[in-house]
Amino acid sequence: MSDGHEHSGQENVPSRQRRRFPGISSRAYEHPADRSALVALRKLSGFDTVFKALSGLLPERSLRLLFLSDSVRVSDQQFAHLNDMLRDACYILDLEKVPPMYVNQDPVPNAMCIGLDEPIIVVTTGLVELLDEEEMRAVIGHEVGHALSGHSVYRTILLFLTSLAVRIAWIPLGNIAIMAIVTALREWFRKSELSADRAGLLVGQDLQSSMRGLMKLAGGHHLHQMNVDAFLKQAEEYEAGGDLRDSVLKILNVLPRSHPFTTVRAAELKKWAESRDYQRIMDGHYPRRSEDKDTSVTDSFRESASHYANHVKSSKDPLMKLVTDIAGGAGDLGSRVRRGFGGPAAKEEPRRDTTDEGGGEGGTES
C-alpha cells in the first residue's frame, strides 16, 4: 500500500516504496523515558482510583458524536490524500483496524489521538495547511504510533482532568489533588511524544521531512528562511547554555506543557535515526507484538534506569553536571552550587600550621 507515485508540485518528496513492519510491537520505538514515566504515573497515589472512575464516566460517545457532527471525517470522498496516508501508516505499522480521522477547523497547527475504547485521530486545518505531503505523512504516522502504543486512553483522561481542574479551581484541596495527577500525566505525555516521533519516522522513512515538519511547528511555513543544522544547534545551546538558574527555569517552563520543546524533539529524533536501534528495525529485526506477553518488567525498568543514567552523565545541562558531580563524590559542593547560580565561589582559607619549625607539637604560629 506504500505509494511509489510522483507528486507534482511538491519538492523534496521521495517517490519510493517504504518498508513495512509486520507485527511490530510498540516496544520497538518506545523511548525509555516514556516507559519509566508511565510506570511512575501508575504508582502515583490515587491514580488507579481516578483512572478506573473516569474510564466509566468519560462521555466517549459524546466525544465521537462531537467530531462526527462538527468536523470533517477523512475518507475516500473527503480529504482523500489524508485517508491514503492514514491507511498507509496503518499498513506500515501493521495496525489491524484503521482508526477514524477527522479534520477540525482550527488555525493552530495540532494533532491528537484520543479515545478510551477505540482511538480517534484529529488534525487541525492549521496543520493541514502548514505541512507538505511528506511532512504530513510523518505526523499521521506519529498519531498512529500513539494508537499502537495505547496512549489515547491516558491522553483522553489528561484532557478531561485539565478541563476539570479549571472548573474546580476554587476548591483548594480538590484542585491540588487533581493537579498532582495532571502534572504526572503531562510528564508522561511529553515523553510519549518522543516515542510517537519515532513512529512517525518509521512511517515516513525520511528524516528530513520529519525535521522540516518540526521546524515548521516552531517557525511557521517560512521554510526557505530556516536551516536544519542551525535549528539543531539551538537544541545544543538550550541544553548546555546558562547556569543552574537556567536549569531551574527550563524545568518551570516545561511543566505546564503537554509537548516537549520542538528543538529538543528534533535533536532526540535525529539521535535515534542515527542509532543502531533504528537501523536494526529498518533491517527487519524488531520486537513483535506476539512476544509482548513474555516481556520482562524488570528488564524494562533496567533499560529505563540505564537510559537516565547515561542521559545524566552525557548531559551538558549545568544541573545534570552538578548531579553527576554529587554522584561522583566531588568535593566543595557548596562552592559549586554558588558558582552555578552565578554567585562568587567561597575563597579557600590559608592552611594554618600549628607545628613549630622543629616539628614539635604545641608551637606558636609563625
Catalytically annotated residues: 143
Closest C-alpha to 90, from 135, 136, 144, 138? 144
Cβ partners under 8 Å of residue 77, min gap 6? none
Under a CB-based contact definition with an 8 Å cutoff, are residues 134 and 209 in contact?
yes
Q: Is the dihedral of CA 281, 284, 286, 288 positive or negative?
A: positive
Task: Give DSSP secondary structure letters for 118-133.
Answer: S-EEEEEHHHHHHS-H
314 vs 177: CA distance, rounded Å: 35
Cβ partners under 8 Å of residue 14, min gap 6? 134, 205, 206, 209
Residue 90: how many other CB atoms lie within 10 Å: 21
Residue 77: how many other CB atoms lie within 10 Å: 8
320 vs 340: CA distance, rounded Å: 11
Cβ partners under 8 Å of residue 330, min gap 6? 336
User: Across the chain, which distance is largest between two alpha carbons, in Å?
Assistant: 101
Place of cell 553536571: 321
161 vs 172: CA distance, rounded Å: 15
C-alpha cell at 87: 491507511
171 vs 165: CA distance, rounded Å: 9
51 vs 46: CA distance, rounded Å: 9
Rg of the chain taking only CA atoms, in angstroms: 25
Strand partners, 309: none
Q: Please give the torsion angle defined by the CA atoms of residues 233, 236, 240 and 246, in that order, rounded to the nearest 10 degrees.
A: 80
The total number of residues shown for the chain amounts to 366
